[in-house]
Amino acid sequence: MAADYPRIGPALSAETVRAMNLPDVKDKMAAQGLFVVAGTAEEFSTYLKAEVSKWATVVKDSGAKAD
pLDDT(5) > 70: no
Please tell me the least confidently modeled range out of 6-10, 18-22, 43-47: 6-10
Q: Which residue has the higher pLDDT, 41 or 28?
A: 28
Q: How far is Cα 13 from Cα 26, in angstroms, rounded to an integer?
A: 17
Nearest partner of 16 among 39, 32, 47, judged by Cα: 39
Average pLDDT of 22-43? 91
- Residue 27 has a pLDDT of 96
- How far is C-alpha 41 from the geometric centre of its chain's CA atoms? 8
**Residue 17 in contact with residue 37, Cβ under 8 Å?**
no
pLDDT(26) > 90: yes
